[in-house]
Structure formats: C-alpha cells, structure tokens
Amino acid sequence: MARIIVVTSGKGGVGKTTSSAAIGIGLALKGHKVVLIDFDIGLRNLDLIMGCERRVVYDFVNVINGEATLNQALIKDKRVSSLSILPASQTRDKDALNKENVGKVLDDLGERFDYIICDSPAGIEAGAMMALYYADEAIVTTNPEVSSVRDSDRILGMLASRSRRAELGLDPIKEHLLLTRYSPKRVEEGEMLSVEDVEDILAIPLLGVIPESQAVLKASNAGEPVILDTESDAGKAYQDVIDRLLGETVEFRFLVAEKKGILSRLFGG
C-alpha cells in the first residue's frame, strides 16, 4: 500500500510546492518509488519547481477524463529515476476533478509507487478538499506568523472532518507540522512566532523547521529542488524532514540565530 501524503496549508505562498518537490526528491533519493501530483489545477507550478515544465504533454485532468493513460502523463524525473511527476492542467479549473475519478487514479498509482505526494492548492475550497480527501498523512506547511497559523488550524479541522478517513470512521489522518521560512533572529527580536508558539497553538507533532534561506528562491527559479543544494541550511533541513518521515529521530537544527564573530560582523560576513 502506498502512503498518500498531502502537503497542505490553507494559506498560499507558504511553501507547499517547494516542500512537495523537496520531499518527493528526498524520498526518491532514499530509493523509494515516489509520484508527485500537482492538485493546483489551473495554476500549475510544481513542474516549474521540478524543472520539467517543457516536458508536459498530458496532465492530471487528461488522465481523469480518460484522454490519456497514466503512462503518457507521468513525467520521469531526469535526476532521480524512481521519481515521477503528474502535472496539473494549466487550461482547466479545479472543478475538472471529482472524487470518484481521483480515487481511481490514486488506486492505479498506488500499485506502482511507495509514496504519493499530493501538492494541494491554497484555500479551503473544492481543489484543496480534493487533494486532502484520500490522504493517509498530511504535512501542514506553516509560516511562523499568525494568519498562516490560523489558516493551518482551519485546515487541520478539515483534515479531521472532511477526509475519506473521517467519513469512513477510519484512523484519522496522521498530521505533521512543517514550519517554513523560519528566522531565529526575527524570533529573538519578537517579530516572528517561535516554534514553541506554533506547536502550542496547533498541537500536532513537529516534522521539520526550514530556515528562511536565499537558496530556496534560487532553487525554485532554477527548477532544482532546494534539497539537492546540500550546502544550504534549507537543503539540510529538508534532508532531516525526510529522515523523520522515514521514522528516524533527528535533532532539530537551525533553531537559534548564529552568533556572528567580530570579524564577520566587521566585514559583513
């Protein structure tokens, strides 16, 4: 049985697609068979972040409508062969998906892959509900600021009430908190919520803390998921996330601001 993981948040722009891409590649690099699905129909981004936008021929909606087979639509990643991407359609809207057909596609994918990562659109409307409906686990991506935390809280309520698992009375979706764009310096200055604050409000287990990093933007523009940048803090933090997802206990890094030495301070290090 494949693990179906939805990457969701409620609020937009918090790093869902960046995280989906990083987690997809990270799991594939560990030797697992992974498929990334872009549920953001009409605003496809995942293929850009993954650097495969020029290879999109058929998409998720074509498969749903029976206009293409999964084999035709799946794009194999050029860096990691065990990773595939099912891109969203740019020309359709979110109403193109329906539960029954999405369920069928997920069943088919489940036979071929170990992990199905669903990159959810923002919001709490039909598209986001579709992305989380079949999930076994949810990675709730949150920025350390109040509106993002509030929206994540809302999504957690949806996960507990609107998913297939909730409707059938099965074990609830396993929830993980992924804090992104974290800046320890700004937390110390009182401008940003701390990890403890967010954990206290959302009350779900912490999967990872990704530090605010220039590397993320660079990686997105280059179509090279940031986890491949093994020198960057963000890349390392995503690596830790993968290890924790696979059941390892890894200490949290990048939670305190680096104390700059006098030399680096003088020379603007």
Partner 1 sequence: MADASIEFKGSSFTLSVLHLKTTTLADLREDLIKKVAQAPDFFYLVPIVVDIERVDSSIDYQSVKLLVEEFKFTFVGFTGSVAKEQKKLIRELGFSFVNSANSPANNTAKVDTSTKPVAAKPLAEPKNKQAEFVPKLELYTDKIHRGQIRSGQQIYAKGQNLVVIGSVSAGAEVIADGNIHVYGSLRGRAIAGAKGHHQAQIYCQNLEAELVSINGNYWLSESMEQHWSSPAYIHLSDTELVSSKLI
Report the residue number, 130 or 204, with the smaller CB distance to partner 1: 204
Interface size with partner 1, residues (CB under 8 A): 11
CA angle, residues 104, 97, 152, in degrees to nearest 5: 100
153 lines the binding site for partner 1 (CB under 8 A): yes
Q: What contacts 220, CB < 8 A, 6 or more positions away? A: 18, 48, 49, 226
Nearer to partner 1, 70 or 201 (CB): 201
Contacts to partner 1 from residues 29-88, by CB under 8 A: none
Nearer to partner 1, 105 or 156 (CB): 156
Closest CB 174 distance from partner 1, rounded Å: 14
Q: How far is the CB of 200 from partner 1 (least distance, A)?
A: 8
Q: Do 88 and 39 form a contact (C-beta atoms < 8 A)?
A: yes
Task: Indicate whether 161 belongs to the interface with partner 1 (CB under 8 A).
Answer: yes
Q: Report the nearest approach of partner 1 to the CB of residue 177 (Å).
A: 13
The nearer residue to partner 1, 151 or 233, going by C-beta atoms, is: 151
Per CB under 8 A, 126 contacts partner 1: no
Binding status of residue 166 toward partner 1 by CB under 8 A: no
Nearer to partner 1, 70 or 124 (CB): 124
Distance CA 155, CA 150 (A): 9
Residue 69 CB, nearest approach to partner 1 (Å): 39
When binding is defined by CB under 8 A, the residue of 157, 167, 217, 260 that contacts partner 1 is: 157
- Binding mask of the shown chain, residues 187 to 226, with x at each position contacting partner 1 by CB under 8 A: -------------xx-x-----------------------
Report the interface residues with partner 1, using CB under 8 A: 150-151, 153-154, 156-157, 160-161, 200-201, 203
